[in-house]
Structure 1
Amino acid sequence: MASPRATLADVAQTAGVDMSTASRVLRGDVSQRVREETRARILKVAEDLAYRPNSLARGLRTARTDTLGIVVPQLDNPVFAAAIRGAEQAAAELGYSLLISHREPGTTATTIAKLSQTNRVDGLLVASLDDDEVLRSDLAAAHVPFVLMNRILPGAPLSVVLDSRAAARRGVEHLVGLGHRRVAHLSGRAQGFNAAQRLEGYREGLEAAGIAFDPVLVATAGYTAEGGARAMAELLPQRPTAVLAATLVSAAGAMSVLHAAGWRIPQDISVAGLHDAPVARLLYPSLTTVMMPTEEMGRVAASLLVRSLAGEHPDPVPPLPPGDLIPRASTGPAPG
């Protein structure tokens, strides 16, 4: 039979202290002084006994669950998968569990209500593709602290975003450096924060190279492979020699259309995308990408949320800068 689970009383008795002292040490409470040798002894005993706090019982006493919720619009998108991974790592380091929920745009209200009320999470990390007013209303009804990821909502106190503008400009600079003058752009969600930032970076990259912006070379792809395929099909009659996609997922969709249409990559057209993931190396040809710190975004957001739950008022963080551009086989010199 399995050994009985160690209790707080077991730790206190073995360490030779009262339960209140053991509890304070194991919670990390420093409001009352405990001798360092006593603290070390309690922690050693807890480790030896494989003691794990009863979070359910503690939650009933304190109305806290030591659980964070994260809401994402897509689970099959490497951007959100990496953000979840970073948030989970930070939460674990800070003594919290992470409850993951996926809802498509338009159903976020139900998700947020469940996480904040039924499941009683202490706070929320939210990445949403919903309109501003819908999201603002949903968050107001949640009645728990929250941090937004990958977007800014006017009036929201804390958001962690990527510098998509700088990333898009870096992608355009790479393509222009290869001699391309007709560079198309597969943009993100219409009216979205990130889409606007990436479009601005795309335009800045063209302007820096002395290339006039041509709106017929921009098509809305969103953040799916299907959207990337549709947008690329719209752009084929414009005969671009290069295309910058808002994400590697939409870039993959664009590449499928190019292959079907008989366009050679990169001999006839170069393709680059924002965000990097192992799948970028598995595409044919392998996809040139601009690395984005999406995992760091999740870590920073979770850390900010835990600090807010502790009563702190953390300052807003600046956009996280992009990483390196990773040149691969999907980009090459402009034809001719």
Structure 2
Amino acid sequence: MPTARVVTLAHVAAAAGVNASTASKVLNGDAAVRVGPDTRARILAAAKALGYRPNALARGLRTARSHMLGIAVPQLENPVFPEIILGAETAARERGYSLLISHSGEADGDARLYEALAAVSRVDGLLVATLEDEAVLASALARSTVPFVVINRKLEGIANHVVFDSFAAARVATEHLLSLGHRRIAHLAGRTEGYNGTRRLAGYRAALEAAGLVFDPSLVVAAGYTVEGGEAAIRELLGRGAGFTGIVAATVLTAAGAMKVLHATGLQLPSQMSIVGIHDAAIADMLHPPLTTVRLPLREMGSVATHGLIDLLEGRIGQVECTLPIERLVARQSCAAPLGSRP
């Protein structure tokens, strides 16, 4: 049985017509190497055509680095985080790094969260996407021994982050309901003390006020980012008798929880109640009715954060700060004009 050919740096160098040292420097991203753009392109094309993969162990021995990145996520069951991980893993592979996934869960305190982050402390750099209290997370990260980029939130006093435009996401969701004629719109908020929760609440409120409506705090309930949170929040709102006809949910999971309760209470969607969720995922198409969402670039977040972290590690940049715009509103069947406004 024939054995697979191992492609070495020498093979790439020969195919590109350069010496092995030059090929090595280009493929390892050495900013100091002086080669023309044509030569660089030729080396990269040869490596791709031959299927060259760098030897991570040998590189680590030469550079005292593992060429391993870590990503800490709180919910693997949340469809948001697997998409971010896929974007991060693809970007890491493109740059010659591997990705180690750590499920941090709800760590419930600085010490336990630090322990979760320390589980991936042997990596060169860390991507952090947790739902932990922001003061707790900032404290834990202050003890980190490796460079890191925070994903999906900003933290006071910590520069490196990649976030979505959560303000615009909630504003667009609210504007969609307003355009259909809804005037009593509830908000199932995220954590109202956290970055995304406050930005989405602000976007919701800005859309209402731009339409000449008075913000009513009784229409806002903190739901967090889970199905169970959405269930509890909608029960609380229904119990208040607030008379709303539309809902902006902080995430697709909280929207799913709210829809479950609405169905159980006999309210018909969208004839009696309309709902929009933030984030888009396969589950949105599977709900009944399919859920209108605001799509955010999840894989791009993972990719941008990973490239930024590697650029930090390799000394190309000194800081990572990026706000990703929303992609678009995905209109499905969970929204309609309110009953009283239909012809």
TM-score normalised by length of structure 1: 0.88
Q: What's 1:286 paired with?
A: 290
What is the CA deviation profile of residues 16-62 of structure 1, one whole-angstrom value per residue up to 9, with x for unaligned ones? 98764554454344645579999899778867875533212321332
State the distance in 2 between where 1:40 and 1:113 align. Answer: 39
- Contact in 2 for aligned 1:71/1:100 (Cα 8 Å): yes
Q: What's 1:121 paired with?
A: 123
User: Is the alpha carbon distance of 1:105 and 1:43 closer, same or farther for their aligned partners in structure 2, counting shifts above 3 Å?
Assistant: closer
Q: What's 1:309 paired with?
A: 313
Instruction: Give how far 1:273 is off.
Output: 0.7
State the distance in 2 between where 1:273 and 1:257 align. Answer: 15
User: Is the alpha carbon distance of 1:334 and 1:46 closer, same or farther for their aligned partners in structure 2, counting shifts above 3 Å?
Assistant: closer
Higher mean C-alpha deviation, range 197-206 or range 84-93:
84-93
Secondary structure class of the residue paired with 1:319: strand
Q: What's 1:295 paired with?
A: 299
Instruction: Give how far 1:190 is off.
Output: 3.8
Q: What's 2:182 paired with?
A: 180
Secondary structure class of the residue paired with 2:323: coil
Q: What's 1:60 paired with?
A: 61
User: Is the alpha carbon distance of 1:7 and 1:132 closer, same or farther for their aligned partners in structure 2, counting shifts above 3 Å?
Assistant: same
User: Is the alpha carbon distance of 1:54 and 1:301 closer, same or farther for their aligned partners in structure 2, counting shifts above 3 Å?
Assistant: same
Root mean square deviation, CA, Å? 2.8
Secondary structure class of the residue paired with 1:330: coil
User: Is the alpha carbon distance of 1:39 and 1:292 closer, same or farther for their aligned partners in structure 2, counting shifts above 3 Å?
Assistant: closer
Alignment equivalent of 1:151, drawn from 150, 153, 177: 153
Q: What's 2:196 paired with?
A: 194
Is 1:112 paired with 2:114? no
Higher mean C-alpha deviation, range 159-168 or range 100-109:
100-109
State the distance in 2 between where 1:241 and 1:13 align. Answer: 68
State the distance in 1 between where 2:305 and 2:249 align. Answer: 26
Where do 5+ consecutive residues of structure 1 fail to align? none
State the distance in 2 between where 1:248 and 1:41 align. Answer: 45
State the distance in 1 between where 2:270 and 2:263 align. Answer: 11
State the distance in 1 between where 2:198 and 2:78 align. Answer: 20
Higher mean C-alpha deviation, range 217-226 or range 48-57:
48-57
Q: What's 1:79 paired with?
A: 80
Which residues of 2 match residues 82-101 of structure 1 at below 5 A?
82-101=83-102
Is 1:262 paired with 2:266? yes
Equivalenced residue count is 333
Secondary structure class of the residue paired with 1:185: strand
Q: What's 2:247 paired with?
A: 243
State the distance in 2 between where 1:210 and 1:22 align. Answer: 63
Secondary structure class of the residue paired with 1:71: strand
Is 1:334 paired with 2:338? yes
Amino acid at match of 1:66: H
Instruction: Give how far 1:103 is off.
Output: 1.5
Q: What's 2:234 paired with?
A: 232
State the distance in 2 between where 1:30 and 1:43 align. Answer: 15
User: Is the alpha carbon distance of 1:102 and 1:319 closer, same or farther for their aligned partners in structure 2, counting shifts above 3 Å?
Assistant: same
State the distance in 2 between where 1:177 and 1:44 align. Answer: 50
TM-score normalised by length of structure 2: 0.87
- Contact in 2 for aligned 1:108/1:128 (Cα 8 Å): no
